[in-house]
Amino acid sequence: MKRQIPMMILSTIGTIFVLAYFSPGLEELEKGGSIFFDVVACFAFFLGGSNLVRVHIQKIARHNPGWGYSIVTLFGFGLMLFIGLFKLGNPLGIAGAPTEPGSWFQIIFQYCVAPLSATMYSLLAFFVASASYRAFRAKNTEATILLVAAFIILLGRTQLGLVMTSWVPDWLSIAQIPNLAVFIMTSPNLAGQRAIMIGIALGVVSMSLRLILGIERSYLGSDS
């Protein structure tokens, strides 16, 4: 039963979704399934939140390296949860949305979470610069092609590319760097992306069929 019930649920729901996608008459059934899916997805928040707390409490208790950061994480998590749940400082009170303008939740998000998050992402620029100096080498033919393509795209994304090839006559406009960059994106890149997407789609179809037919059972756990 421990194995049969999850397999039955998966097969039934999977079949409904596949049929509903191609049969407009089954839209209501699909809608019900999707709402059920959304309700289940809500529990991921509880699971994710409780897991975060458990992992960081363990880290603090064991004094693992960097356990001080875990205190900051737990403090931030608890603070946002408390303020968000009880709508502290919310101009519309408990009935207002947590992100109501002027609410404490929105203020902390706007002035702490958003800048910190954007700062972390912006650090990428430093690592990209360092990698471009140390790792981006024309070691073989494939790497050289990649390097030349990257170079044209980088130039094409700036005014410099336009200035450098503005002298090129209109009948040879494909040779202008911004147009070359567009060509790379819409031809070789497109072909490569399509090939990857078709491959992934075929893989997803075959894996979905294996799941629906009960051939693939790894999701049931190792003891199954």
Partner 1 sequence: MSVGLITSVVFIGGGVLWILVQSVKGRDVDRRWIFLFIGSTVALALLFHIRFGEKATPIVKAAFNQIENLPEGASVLIAFDYDPAMEPEVGPMADCFIRHTLARKHKLFLMTLWATGQALMTNTVEDVLKPEFPEAEYGTDYVNLGYKVGGFGVINVVLSDFRAMYPTDAHGTLLDSLPMFNKVRSLRDIDLIISIGGGTPGVKEWVLFAGNRGNIPIVGGTAAVVAPLLYPYYPRQLVGLLGGTKGAAEYESELTGNYDRFKDMDTPALRMMGPQTMAHVVVMAFIIIGNIAYFRSRKREGK
- Measure the CA–CA gap between 217 and 212, rounded to whole angstroms: 10
Contact residue for partner 1 among 23, 117, 173, 224 (CB under 8 A): 117
Binding to partner 1 by CB under 8 A, coded x per residue (else -) over 118-157, reads x-xxx--xx-xxx-xxxxxxxx-------x--xx--xx-x
Residues in CB range of 161: below 8 A, 6 or more apart: 152, 155, 176, 177, 178, 181
How big is the CA angle at 156 (ends 152 and 159), to the nearest 5 degrees?
135
Kindly calculate the radius of gyration of the chain based on its CA atoms and give it in whole angstroms.
26
Conformation bin of residue 103: beta by default, left when phi > 0, alpha when psi is -120 to 50: beta
- Measure the CA–CA gap between 5 and 3, rounded to whole angstroms: 6
Does 49 engage in binding with partner 1 (CB under 8 A)?
Answer: no
| Whether 80 contacts 107, CB under 8 Å | no
Shortest distance, position 99 Cβ to partner 1, whole Å: 4
Does 35 engage in binding with partner 1 (CB under 8 A)?
Answer: yes
Closer to partner 1 by Cβ: residue 61 or 81: 81
Shortest distance, position 160 Cβ to partner 1, whole Å: 6
Does 53 engage in binding with partner 1 (CB under 8 A)?
Answer: no
- Which residues of this chain interact with partner 1, rule CB under 8 A? 21, 27-28, 30-31, 34-35, 37-38, 41-42, 44-45, 92, 95-101, 105-106, 109-110, 113-118, 120-122, 125-126, 128-130, 132-139, 147, 150-151, 154-155, 157-160, 178, 182, 185-186, 189-190, 193-194, 197
